[in-house]
Structure 1
Amino acid sequence: MNSADESRSVKVTHVLRLTELANQPLWDGTYTPGIAGTRVQAPSKSGTATAVSQKLGRVVVSHGAAEVYTALALYHPNTIALFEEHVLNPYAAQHPLASHPVHGQVPWPSTKGTVAIAQELGLLRRHASVLHADGGDTLRIYWPYIGDHLVCLAAEQGPYAVEWDIKKSTGDHGKPGPATATSKVQPRAIARAQCRDEIYQGYMKELGIPIKRVAADDLDFTAATNLVRLWWSHGREPLLPKGLLQALLPEFNSTLSEGKPLTSLYPRLRKHRIAWEDARDAFYVAVWRRQVRVSLFDPILDDKPMRPEKLDILDAYAHLFAR
């Protein structure tokens, strides 16, 4: 096998794997994103972060600008699922909530898949694909596209989903992704990105899922920094001494209402032989769980007076969760 055949074989294997993921069960706790947090699969120009979500009970993968949106989605108490780096099905598929164990009885819309949508749009020849030699025949296998964040939420009117199309900067949507400056301006790369975007929009429209175009610079910098810090800190909850969080909640809220820094709890912590590191972790978990309502639009510093919440970050960015 020459190098060209070997490269094509690797691509075919990857495409077949993505097609499997497009049809994977979504609600049994075994979800696998289309792009894993590995050096081989992650975008070369994007940083990759992985962290355990207590809400989802699994490791969540975030690439580049998506990390802060991962935190925002999982901070929302109504979020019932996040499918990051989800694979769009090349062929007919149901709405992601159609297989939900409770809400699946609702008549959900379906999609014909990206291949049929591309054909309707006159874009089939531009749909990403790879040729595969099968015996004496050469087959064209269509490469599944990957979306960023599919967020499923509960609501009084019933559950629903929103799609977050996440880019590093505003204006990058529908354009070539992380790449060199030269390749991003090549006509072929631009045409490929526009084709993908048209198919992507048609796919989500068939499923009745609104697309929210978002970028890292859309969020307040301080709020974004706090969200990511809380997101990482909440993973320490299982390591806290049993009952510590509930025992310290009144102390945290009193300190907040009195405008004192978290470090003002030192004397009481020493008296009760509570480790500072445990108390601080418990505080961040309490903020993440919205049991202590500090301002996320101001720096959260251990040795500076805490500021009560004046604007709920979920109200500030409610449009991102609108159905």
Structure 2
Amino acid sequence: MKLNPLLGTIDVASRMGILSKHPRIYVRTSDAARTAMVVPFPFIGDLLLYLEDEAGVYVLNWSVTDRLKDFRPRGRPRAHAAGPHDRDLSERDSKLIEHIYYQDAGIRTQKVAGELVDFDLRCNLYELFLAQDRVVGLPHEMIIEITAMFRAGVGSGVVGYEVVRDVAAKFRIKDDVALTILKQAVWNREIRVDLFRPFLVDKPLHPEVCDVFERYRDWFRR
């Protein structure tokens, strides 16, 4: 994949006429010296995704915030809050620098706001994510069998914790280990459940109705 060169945030800030507001730090020239030189401080976006579609590999920049209104221009600052000595980079300018920085290389920036994500989906993904760093410590072949048993329980109408207990009893493992395997398999899309309703073990495991990536496909397009 060939990309146009990234010219850097200094170049972008200069073109915008706000170079003086670019973040900077002071670095001592040596341990003995009392002088320090000013060095531009690099800042980058939130997430840089490397994806692949039918046309090949591409890069996408995600600018992430909790509320959509954070992307909108704010009102004019009050007279006493701005002036020639105002050296702080506003959030709006920071987002614009990020956008132009990646645009120079032909990389699209996608605005992603947490409030636009379905509430139940957010809660489910958070809960599933917390289980990803847990080490199960079972043979890979056994995990495959356990995953298959859980997959068979999806859509069966059986309450989740009963499936967990059946799995734990059959493979002689603890309930919490079985539940961890279930959560990791759902996160890895090896088991497809409905993530747009609460994913609770005291309820049946409902089959997937809508693919999450399909629902938010625009967030991943070139």
What's the TM-score once normalised by structure 1's chain length? 0.58
Relative contact order, higher structure (CA 8 A, sep 6+): 2
Of the candidates 157, 166, 169, which is equivalent to residue 259 of structure 1? 157
Question: 8 Å contact 2:20–2:87 — kept in the other structure?
Answer: no
The offset of 1:173, in angstroms, is 2.4
- 2:143 is the counterpart of 1:245: yes
Question: 8 Å contact 1:240–1:282 — kept in the other structure?
Answer: no
What is the aligned-residue identity percentage?
26
Question: 8 Å contact 2:60–2:108 — kept in the other structure?
Answer: yes
The offset of 1:291, in angstroms, is 1.5
2:28 and 2:167 map into 1 onto residues whose CA distance is 72
Question: 8 Å contact 1:295–1:308 — kept in the other structure?
Answer: yes
Of the candidates 235, 252, 269, which is equivalent to residue 133 of structure 2? 235
1:189 and 1:297 map into 2 onto residues whose CA distance is 45
2:102 and 2:195 map into 1 onto residues whose CA distance is 32
Over the aligned positions, Cα root-mean-square deviation in angstroms equals: 2.7
Unmatched tracts of structure 2, length 5 or more: 75-80
1:140 and 1:282 map into 2 onto residues whose CA distance is 51
Question: 8 Å contact 2:168–2:174 — kept in the other structure?
Answer: yes
1:279-310: CA deviation from partner (whole Å, max 9, x where unpaired): 11111111112121100001111121111110
Q: Secondary structure at the match of 2:14?
A: helix
Structure 1 partner of 2:78: none
1:239 and 1:268 map into 2 onto residues whose CA distance is 14
The offset of 1:163, in angstroms, is 1.2
Question: 8 Å contact 2:194–2:208 — kept in the other structure?
Answer: yes
2:170 and 2:147 map into 1 onto residues whose CA distance is 17
Question: 8 Å contact 1:245–1:286 — kept in the other structure?
Answer: no
Q: Using the TM superposition, name which of 128-137 and 167-176 deviates more.
A: 128-137
- 2:100 is the counterpart of 1:202: yes
2:28 and 2:151 map into 1 onto residues whose CA distance is 66
Structure 2 partner of 1:213: 111
Matches within 5 A, 1:71-220: 106-130=1-25, 139-173=37-71, 186-187=81-82, 188=86, 192-220=90-118
2:168 and 2:95 map into 1 onto residues whose CA distance is 55
Letter in 2 for 1:143: F
- For residues 270 and 293 of structure 1, do their structure 2 counterparts lie closer, same or farther at Cα, with a shift above 3 Å needed? same
1:155 and 1:132 map into 2 onto residues whose CA distance is 44
1:201 and 1:248 map into 2 onto residues whose CA distance is 45
- For residues 120 and 258 of structure 1, do their structure 2 counterparts lie closer, same or farther at Cα, with a shift above 3 Å needed? same
In our comparison, the structure showing a higher alpha carbon Rg is: 2
Letter in 1 for 2:103: K
**How many residues in Structure 1 have an aligned counterpart in Structure 2?**
209
Q: Secondary structure at the match of 2:13?
A: helix
1:131-164: CA deviation from partner (whole Å, max 9, x where unpaired): 5675798744222223111111123322111111
2:167 and 2:7 map into 1 onto residues whose CA distance is 62
What's the TM-score once normalised by structure 2's chain length? 0.82
Structure 2 partner of 1:281: 180
Letter in 2 for 1:241: L
- For residues 119 and 234 of structure 1, do their structure 2 counterparts lie closer, same or farther at Cα, with a shift above 3 Å needed? same
1:91-138: CA deviation from partner (whole Å, max 9, x where unpaired): xxxxxxxxxxxxxxx322211111122222222122223456757987
Structure 2 partner of 1:269: 168
Moved over 4 A (4+): 130-139, 186-191
Question: 8 Å contact 1:240–1:278 — kept in the other structure?
Answer: no
2:95 and 2:48 map into 1 onto residues whose CA distance is 16
- For residues 257 and 117 of structure 1, do their structure 2 counterparts lie closer, same or farther at Cα, with a shift above 3 Å needed? same
Structure 2 partner of 1:307: 206
The offset of 1:224, in angstroms, is 0.8
